[in-house]
Structure 1
């Protein structure tokens, strides 16, 4: 699987969240490390389970020094319905248009399916990619690994 090289600068982006608000990755620079969670489809079984696992451990993901952003190619309105249905109270970002542009920049867009692959990145406070993991379409991620990588990105 492709993806970004560790130690490279994370491509900047601005995407709308489930409330229609712009979220810009570089807005966290100098303040927070960010865990980017690319997922294929809202409301699908594995994605719902993974994002519910983030919700259940949100206090660990969201500290003064860290943030979690979930990205899919679903439209904003679908993401709002998904967030409302499952109580997802963290940013769900829409890479809908231009379709998959950010997913492509991160090397995780599946051209056949028209969605991002199940991939994650941790970007440190300097905007550098410090960790990544890529899974198959039906293979759930381990959130303990994500939290450990995120904590490591903020350690001096």
Structure 2
């Protein structure tokens, strides 16, 4: 079961030149379609691994056929509790700690893992219209889920609200 640790942190002021390279020009409202959260009616609860599936649709409502890898992944999701006490950046393969646990538990052959730890790093040209992210909420409350996918060279972001019991 993945667990998100929460803690207060004082970040010192930084010196030097601000970072550049903002990819904001790629972002904007979804074009030629929308992103839908595919879910059942079961309430969301804490400390339980849940698979969150999102589907990109084209302008006619049909599943999109133009998804591309974005920064090496089929998609990215951010889970943020409304009071900002919880923040998690998740990939379809899970988080870095989840991948580390899978790698540590995998049988090896000459120092190489034999498990598909990098599932979600597909490189084929035609990605499916759905992206699924594993996540377990550490605390109850109201959350916003941000999902990013890349379609036809354009990064699209959708936001969803979730109440966790």
Structure number with greater Rg is 2
> Which TM-score applies when normalising by structure 2?
0.27
> Which TM-score applies when normalising by structure 1?
0.28
Instruction: Kindly indicate which of the two structures has a greater share of residues assigned to helix.
Output: 1
Instruction: Kindly indicate which of the two structures has a greater share of residues assigned to strand.
Output: 2
